[in-house]
Structure 1
Amino acid sequence: MRSTMPGSVDPHCWRFGRFWCCLALLLALAGVATAAPELKFETSAGEATDRNKNPAPTITVTVIGGTALAPDAFVLRQTDGRLAGVKASKVTRYVEGNEPVAIAVLVFGDASWLEGRKELVANLEASLASIAAAGPPGSQGMVLLYKGDVEVRKPPGPLAELADVKLAPKDPAGPKAERDLTAAVKRAIAELDKLQAPRKALYIVGDGIDGAGSKTPSGSMRELQKQLAEKNIVTYAVALQIDTPALGAPKPPPTTIDPRTGAETSDPALEEAFAIADTDWRKVKEQAYADLKILVGGNAQKATSAGNLDSAAGSFASLLDDRYYVTFDGFDAKRKAGFSWDGKEHPLVLRIDGQDTTAVPVTLTPTWAPPGGGSTWWIWLLIGGGAVAVVGGIVAMRK
């Protein structure tokens, strides 16, 4: 019979405790598995030099997810080969890589919004400068301003040119702003479809309201989200919602000064109507932001001031910077060993900072063998044997 010491845990409680601990551990492991990076393997012929006319091919692993580390943190191993593993020769950041991105920046261009906050335009232009440096060489960018229609403020061109785009409105503010966010997103998708780029992205800046706004979920935003996901377009949005009548906010009731007390007073009926309208307006803004988050797959930020726009652009740049490239030499000259470059499929395992990832089958092409390698030893043996035979024959004939 098992006894329980004073102050110890009852065995039943211990069993329950172990159960919950195991459950927590399993959940934690599941979380780790979910967070595992996505790997893409690419093999390529080595670059010949004057000193090495027949260099070994190289393997580059695109790691999507996680943080780039020093080359020593990465080891690539062929599980069906004799080589214990090869350390990376180079790690390349996304902005230095070879996957250019085409970015469409969609900005709410009505003067009522652009001029609704102090230094809003200046902060927007500064945020464009951050986006201008967010892609590798060959990246492209464009700026579209939307109201009731869409204005191409900056046609597609080198991404770096976004740093010089000016966003001051061409038309003065009117009594009521127009906005057709649905049509603007469709136009942005159409413009991105025209461009040839390995990656594409859409960055939206506005108040998130479509048309006059609604308190019910937007079906068009959900349909557009499906299109963006199907086209693998990276999306991010920032919403700065401004309370002015031109943008949809209710106008406060007029007040009068009581001549006897000097206090401000207003019509109670008008006050009540304003309170109802203001509640409706708040619901419209909340639903607009919820729809905006749906549109961009959750990658949205609500700004409280114009000063938040630069940090939002930084978050968008970080979203693009989700990968890095690890390069491995295909042959270790010091150990005289390497990967099996026989044109066949072999399992490769990438170790990141001491942790193995899942084995991935990779076809090791182009075919290659080290100069003077074992794969051609028999040819040299035959040549040597043939030469001996020829010499022997000549000697025999002379005798």
Structure 2
Amino acid sequence: MQAFNQRIEQTLQTRINQGLDRQLRCVEGGNQLMICRDNQQWVNFASNNYLGLANDDKVVLAWQQGLRLFGAGSGASPLVTGHSTAHQMLEDKLCDWLGFERAILFNSGFSANQALLFSLLEKGDVVFQDKLNHASLIEAAMLSPATLKRFAHNDVEDLSRKLANVDASSLVVTEGVFSMDGDVAPLKDIAQIQGNALFAVDDAHGIGVLGEKGGGSCQAAGVKPNFLVVTFGKALGISGAAIMCDATAGDYLTQMARHFVYSTAMPPAQAYALTQAINQVQHDDWRRTKLDELSDYYEQSMCHLPGFRSTPTAIKPFIIGDSARALDCAKFLSQHGIWLSAIRAPTVARHQARLRITLTALHEQSHIDQLAEHVEQWLEVSA
């Protein structure tokens, strides 16, 4: 026990010494435009609530209606008694929206990604992953019996060379929108070179935001992968995830995905609310229009500042480089009423520490003015 305690203490101290320790910050009133705590307020530029649905009145009312109809929890795993009419309604809604035959529901995007790779991959298989894929995807591949090969970020030529050198059952995995850089994968180009490999896309940050009626990165690119992972904790404003696939693959995952088989199903009231959220994503085009307008305004307001990086999405990384300076900038902004997170290694590469700025349909141009003003002030005082 002493050896474990020493290891834990040394690891924590090393994180502190490197400026990489993380702290929980408790907020009041949910994840809204204005974050409140201890009678203070900050403008929230750190949320994935891209379309502003997390506190939307219709979504909240739908969850309350779901609670009255189905109670607080599912009470069992999906294959026992946990799969309700609310879950089936959500699955049907997803399939109709995204054009797949099956939707397998999970309690988080992390578990959906891991379930997909753990279920599909066997010894002798090869999985190709973009180097900037989410930790859930990279970790699942590393822990699976398959061989992991990573290709340079968004580099189709590198992926093509690696695919050509492999004669084995293969799976290509990428994100649709990369969560720390805000750039979009070249999905059409990847689909054209995948050959006999299966193709999987994690569209956590694209679904609801990109494409016609919010159909996501793949819909916008005119691509239909073999597997599409969509999460509900970003643009849909709630939580959970689904793997979209054909009927045969859906039956396979229902049997073999341990995260599905052995986990209590999501609360049916949550599934009921998610169906309402999808309805609003499909019909509230104004949310995406406003997000696009705010993105353009952000680019105009911030493009002259060192650290600015242009992106086609609502994710706007502001590169600072040094972890300590990134923390200092986030602290400075907090003192001036702006809530942001300093993203450091290992979430991003060393010397690529940044502010991860995210826009939502709840922001106004005045909030971006406030952000730009104070980032510029910090750059001046910290030079």
The answer, yes or no, to whether TM exceeds 0.5 is: no
Bin of the TM-score, shorter chain as denominator length: under 0.3
Normalising by structure 1, we get a TM-score of 0.20
* Higher gyration radius (CA): 1
Q: Which structure carries more helix by proportion? A: 2
Normalising by structure 2, we get a TM-score of 0.21
